[in-house]
Amino acid sequence: MWLQGDWLVSLAAGPIRRGAFGEAFLAIADAFGVSPLDAVVLVQGLVVLALFLGFARLVSAQSQSVMVLAVLSPGIFAILWSIDPISALRKEMIGLVALIWLALPGGGMGRLIASGALMVAGGLGHEIMILMTPAWLIATWLFLPELLAKRAGQVVVATVFFLGFAEGLYALKFANLADASPICAALTERGMAGSPICDGAIAWLADPENGPDKVVAALQRSWTVWLLPIAWLVASAPLLRLWSASSCKRKHAGWLILASIAPICLLYLVGLDWGRWFAVQITIAATLMLGLGLRGNLVPVRQISSRERTIWLVSALSWGFLHDPIITTRGFFVQLVDLLKF
């Protein structure tokens, strides 16, 4: 339940990053007379459904079946298919939905405005969406370039970036609280007393040790830190393999994909959820690649056999990583085997 608590960080204790997002949730829940927890679960379910359907549509619309390699990464499985419950149901899903929406076939000014609104709303809820704004612009450039040539499209992009910049300044200014108990009290008063909803992100806001020092200390304690490069290589391998076997007709697309995920690297310096950050980067890259493939700009030119695709699928199901720097090879498949043991 503490995963829902991150969606309900409010302004009850004063100005704080993510507070406006949760405040809106509480206001809407109160207006309709429903539990804020029920409202969050409903929204989470809708966002997960949108991710599933969006990726399914992106893959099924490809003219080359080998493009399915773009989603055969444990980095994507860890966050979208909820194999790692620590990485599941997080607010970065909102930004991913916005990017997938841009990558899907068709699109016009309405889609640009709606996706931009999702990015701004998501930025109120989590700083990672602010760092995903360059990816949103790159997706617009790759998939809806005609809109950027219009004044209305330029106004939309400028507005999204201005609001994202303002959200970033606000998050930096109000990064921590001396006491998060008023936020917790606002939830317990609404019938969530005795639940762990106040743990996790809410408690983290008042942790005086969070930040770069905590990241350094965690890395020093982690005896498996040497697995980090291996985990990253395994998670990136399907995308790299697909790219190496393809020809890209869109100039500088590879560099644009790298630029879209680069800002998220800043989170590695201040937060322990390294698996989450990398999962978002992998998912962004896969989304952009699928969008390019859908438009015939990324075309596989070398054969990738069905046997090799099966190997990538098994790899995706068998590898995973935790939400912190203690990287593990215990993915979904290994966990499933453990459950069957006596």
Q: Give the C-alpha separation, 21 to 121, whole Å.
A: 7
Average pLDDT of the chain?
83
Whether residue 250 contacts residue 297, with contact meaning beta carbons closer than 8 Å, is answered with yes
Exposure pattern of 122-137 as b/e (b: 16+ CB <10 Å)? bbbbbbbbbbbbbbbb
Q: Give the C-alpha separation, 105 to 161, whole Å.
A: 24
Rg over CA atoms, the chain: 20
| pLDDT bracket for residue 222 (50, 70, 90) | low
Token readout for 6 is 């991150």
**Alpha-carbon distances, residue 244 vs 105, 170, 218, 304 (angstroms):** 24, 41, 35, 11
pLDDT value of residue 194: 62
pLDDT surpassing 70 at residue 4: yes
Nearest partner of 291 among 123, 154, 157, 111, judged by Cα = 111
Whether residue 53 contacts residue 91, with contact meaning beta carbons closer than 8 Å, is answered with no
pLDDT value of residue 82: 42
Residue type at 74 in one-letter notation: P
- Tell me the pLDDT tens digit for each residue of 280-324: 898 999 999 999 999 999 999 988 888 888 888 777 766 654 333
DSSP symbols for 250-282: STTHHHHHHHHHGGGGGGGGT-S-HHHHHHHHH
Highest mean pLDDT (candidates 210-214, 302-306, 324-328): 302-306
